[in-house]
């Protein structure tokens, strides 16, 4: 469904992505993991059209989308929920959701999409008239994901959806991720919480040095000692090492 080949991108003279190759198949949940600052957000921004690639290609359902404007990428069905939620704090929950349906394709189906979002996140219907800024952190995250769904994505990319949330809120957000997958929407998730990401992901890619350094199923990577040591804080004792 999504195919990224030899993708390069960065900021000014700093090349952050130095030849990323990855594929996402329809119906999968794919996790992108890697150390802080390695370029996971930059990768999502480049696929979304918020940042122009300097080389390489991004193809979605056979169509080249690399370098397209962000709104055109959304029209193709690729939607990103940015880190930090970025809600309109002084607008109602419902209005925040409606804003997500701004693209031509989604506008005529706004009422139907709202019902589907409320089906996944009933709390958003209860709180529909409330200002988004007064929601709890977990509810704001749900509202941000709901807003992404309003654009009718075929591929939904979530950047750090569990960051800063209490464990119970993380659990709810990931139940929603599964519900979204069950509705046939393909997901790419960037997650600091690697064990959480590998639990829900069908496959994952590990980014390092601007490239993909490892990939495999969630289970394979959970059992991979390099990944366990680097990201899961596990496996150290098995090798007789001590935690510094
Ligand atoms: N707007 C920007 N201008 C200049 N450099 C940037 C900008 N945004 C990010 N960077 C740099 O690009 C690199 C990759 O950042 P990015 O946010 O993509 O990493 P990340 O893997 O998502 O990290 P984190 O998990 O900490 O968000 C970092 O070194 C960061 O400092």
Lowest mean pLDDT among 67-71, 105-109, 126-130: 105-109
ipTM of the complex model: 0.92
State the Rg of the chain over Cα: 18
Ligand 1: which of 7, 16, 48 to mutate, judged by most atoms within 8 Å of the beta carbon? 16
Does CATH place domain 2-239 in 2.40.30.10?
A: no
Q: How far apart are CA 207 and CA 223, in angstroms?
A: 17
Query: Residue 123: what pLDDT?
Result: 95
Question: Which residues have C-beta atoms less than 6 Å from ligand 1?
Answer: 11, 14, 16, 34, 36-42
Tens of pLDDT, residue by residue over 1-40, are 999 999 999 999 999 999 999 999 999 999 999 888 899 9
Centroid of ligand 1 to alpha carbon of 82 (angstroms):
13
Distance from C-alpha of 198 to C-alpha of 41, rounded to nearest angstrom: 18
Residue 134 has pLDDT above 50, yes or no: yes
List phi, psi (to 5°) of 192: -70, -35
Alpha carbon distance 49, 72 (integer Å) = 8
Query: Do residues 149 and 180 lie in contact, with contact meaning Cβ atoms separated by under 8 Å?
Result: yes
Classify strands 63-64 and 14-24 as parallel, antiparallel or unpaired: unpaired
- How do residues 186-203 score in pLDDT, each as one tens digit? 999 999 888 888 999 999
If you average pLDDT over residues 76-102, what whole number do you get?
92
Each domain of the chain, given as residue ranges in start order, spans: 2-239
The whole-number pLDDT of residue 86 equals 85
pLDDT at 234: 53
Mean pLDDT, residues 211-215: 92
CA–chain centroid gap for 155, Å, is 9
What's the CA gap between 124 and 65, in Å, rounded? 32
């Amino acid at each position: 469904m999504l195919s990224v080949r030899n993708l390069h991108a960065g900021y000014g003279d700093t090349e952050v992505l130095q030849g990323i190759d990855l594929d996402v198949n329809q119906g999968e949940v794919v996790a992108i993991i890697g150390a802080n600052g390695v370029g996971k957000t930059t990768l999502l921004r480049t696929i979304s059209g918020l940042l122009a690639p300097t080389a390489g290609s991004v193809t979605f359902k056979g169509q080249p989308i690399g370098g397209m404007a962000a709104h055109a990428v959304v029209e193709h069905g690729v939607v990103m929920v940015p880190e930090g939620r970025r809600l309109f704090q002084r607008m109602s929950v419902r209005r925040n959701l409606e804003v997500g349906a701004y693209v031509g394709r989604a506008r005529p189906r706004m009422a139907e999409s709202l019902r589907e979002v409320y089906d996944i996140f009933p709390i958003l219907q209860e709180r529909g008239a409330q200002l988004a800024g007064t929601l709890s952190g977990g509810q704001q995250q749900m509202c941000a994901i709901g807003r992404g769904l309003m654009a009718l994505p075929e591929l939904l990319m979530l950047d750090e959806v569990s960051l800063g949330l209490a464990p119970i809120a993380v659990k709810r957000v990931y139940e929603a991720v599964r519900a979204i997958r069950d509705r046939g929407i393909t997901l790419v998730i960037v997650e600091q919480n690697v064990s959480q990401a590998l639990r829900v992901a069908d496959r994952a890619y590990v980014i390092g040095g601007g490239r993909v350094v490892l990939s495999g199923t969630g289970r394979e990577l959970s059992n991979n000692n390099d990944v366990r040591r680097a990201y899961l804080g596990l496996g150290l004792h098995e090798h007789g090492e001590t935690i510094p």
